[in-house]
Amino acid sequence: MSSDGALPDLLSRITDRRRIAIVPVHGVIGGAVRTEALLRALGLARKSRAVHGVLLDIDSPGGAAIPSEALHVATKRLAAAKPVVAWIRGTGASGAYFVACGATRILSFPSALVGSIGVISVRPVAVEALRRLGTRVAVTKTGPFKDLGAPWREPTDEDVAKERELVDAIFRRFTAGVKTARGFDDPALARVATGEVWLGTQALDLRLVDGLADDEEAALEVARDLAGLPHVHTVRLGPRRTMLQRLGVPGAGLGPPGARWIAELEGWLTAPRLRA
């Protein structure tokens, strides 16, 4: 076997500074996924001359509506500058799927959970619990909806109508993004905008994803091809994972117990899970 071309090829690999950036989206948006940090990573990937393509590594049940849309917009802006492949490795649901819709191409692990296109508003009603404790809440407010969603009172018909109005408005923004990204007509959009999830293989049939990828290497090959690069050289962007995060310790990287912990717990509790 001739090795005449081996040395030039090796030198090319060493000296080629072009990279595919891997950006993880792991956890609940607004919980483990720190929106500002992820926005910075996407912005850095867009501005970097060394980055010629991006792989979004997604395993998330979604999360808060506004941060999800902000990340969708940032991903779409990045994809206008260079190829972005969103690879759903485990779960790409709700807001996480919205983020993926900003990418150039969406791939999925065959048995990943994809979809959950919908919006939900949940609040506890603690009126009976407060009554049993002999506790009441005095409220002074400037308008009828200032305490909308407050757990210390039953929602009025007007409250329910207002919450429905807000949920529907966010849903329209979500579905408009999906419709544009996937090229759906109204019947096709209605078929998938039910809040349910599908396996990656089913999502491919429904055109929610463009293809399947069994592992990160396969997804990177698609990103390499779209970027027109001869080799796969990668750089990882985003917050560094701690040792506890790499070991999969629950709550690692979330900081002191607080709102992020609650968001993370709520996000995964409402996400469909499969057991084998």
Share of the chain above pLDDT 90, in %: 57
Residue scoring higher pLDDT (37 or 136): 37
Q: Which pLDDT belongs to residue 170?
A: 93
Q: Is the pLDDT of residue 92 over 70?
A: yes
Q: For 106-164, write each residue's pLDDT tens digit.
A: 999 999 999 999 988 777 787 788 788 888 888 888 888 888 877 778 888 888 898 89
Neighbours of 204 (CB within 10 A): 19
Per-residue pLDDT, 2? 46
Listed in sequence order, the DSSP H helices in the chain are: 6-15, 35-47, 65-79, 95-100, 127-132, 157-182, 186-192, 200-205, 216-227, 243-246, 259-269
* Banded model confidence at residue 262, pLDDT cuts 50, 70, 90: low
How far is 263 from 117, CA to CA, in rounded Å?
19
Q: Tens digit of pLDDT for each residue in 199-241? A: 999 999 999 999 999 999 999 999 999 999 998 999 999 766 5
Q: Domain 17-116+196-269, what architecture?
A: Alpha-Beta Complex (3.90)
What is the C-alpha separation between 58 and 71, in angstroms, rounded?
13
Confidence of residue 1 (pLDDT cuts 50, 70, 90): very low
Q: Can you give the pTM of this predicted structure?
A: 0.82
Pairing of the two strands 84-93 and 51-60: parallel
User: Residues spanned by CATH 3.90.226.10 within the chain?
Assistant: 17-116+196-269
